[in-house]
Amino acid sequence: MTGLPAGRSVQVKVPATSANLGPGFDTLGLALSLYDDLEVTVRDEPGAFVDVIGVGQGEVPTDASNLVVRTIAHTFGVFGQPVPGLHLVARNAIPHGRGMGSSGAAIVAGIMAAKGLLDGIVDIDSDDLLRIATDLEGHPDNVAPALFGGLTIAWTGVTGPRHKKLMVHRGVSPLVCVPQSTMSTELARSLQPENVSRADAIFNVSRSSLLIAALIQSPELLLDATEDKLHQSYRASAMQETGDLIELLRSHGHAAVVSGAGPSILVLGSDPGQRAEAAELVAEHATTPWQSLMLAVDFKGATVIAHPAEALA
């Protein structure tokens, strides 16, 4: 086991994500150009201290119970390495509890930080990254796009979680409409039935298959391709305005879906003009404040840059 020198640091950048994308429940995810930035530095003193700037400031823990810190510690433990004292500076932009993958981003940030700090000591490959992230998050649909970028299909095979990254058609223009209210992923999942009909299952298989084609080749099919019968209607009672706005947007031809567990709305425009029209509709008809984020698809995923201690001397 090798102790890390004080002053060694890493910089990590992780994108927001939107999972499910309508019919692709627990399978499809998209990385978006909104980022949490993290700087982690090894200290002489034991323990962890976290400075949070932006989203979550004054709300999330700033000690060893912080999710990023716990993830770093877990990843070090997986590879049998002692955890050094740490100072974290987290500059967060991803909204919490809004269906944009904030918890997945925190987990990915911690794993990538550990990877950078252990560079040259332990080799952590992409399979390790996805396996550890899925173990901590519980399912891979958010952490896969956060790690690898683009559109990802995630599944669990005999060797563990796997993913396939696909490039998105350049015309696809994401819009995320974010309300002030939050939504618990656990609550959202509790509203779904344990079993669904054969007809609904077939419906979603057809739409999720079509959605892949729409996103990578034929954006004009996005409205039909984002229909869903597995989860959104069951969750609507817990986020009434989200459901009402999605119905309004879809009636005007916009491919609107619940982003992740909600309550944010993801609109997959086929061009920037269509996206702007969707944002105007939300502004005109929402009864509570909503923020419209006109984002791009992030194709890089999480990144880490390591700085050895001597470089900071």
Annotated binding site for ATP: 95-105
3-state secondary structure 130-152: HHHHHHHHCCCCCHHHHHHCCEE
3-state secondary structure of 248: helix
3-state secondary structure of 302: coil
Write out the binding residues: 95-105
Q: Is the peptide bond before 179 cis (omega within 30 degrees of 0)?
A: no
Residue 183, φ and ψ in degrees, nearest 5 = -145, 130
Residue 191, φ and ψ in degrees, nearest 5 = -85, -10
Report the C-alpha gap between 226 and 88 in whole angstroms. Answer: 39
Q: Which two tokens stand for residue 61?
A: 């823990």
3-state secondary structure 217-244: CCHHHHHHHCCCCCCHHHHHHHCHHHHH
Residue whose tokens read 């919490």: 96
Q: Which two tokens stand for residue 108?
A: 């990915």
Q: Return the number of other C-beta atoms located less than 10 Å from residue 33's C-beta.
A: 15
Q: Which two tokens stand for residue 158?
A: 């005999």
Report the C-alpha gap between 21 and 100 in whole angstroms. Answer: 11
DSSP state of 266: E
- Taking phi over 0 as left and psi of -120 to 50 as alpha, with beta for the rest, 26 belongs to left
The answer to whether 268 and 222 have CB atoms below 8 angstroms apart is yes
The answer to whether 91 and 55 have CB atoms below 8 angstroms apart is no
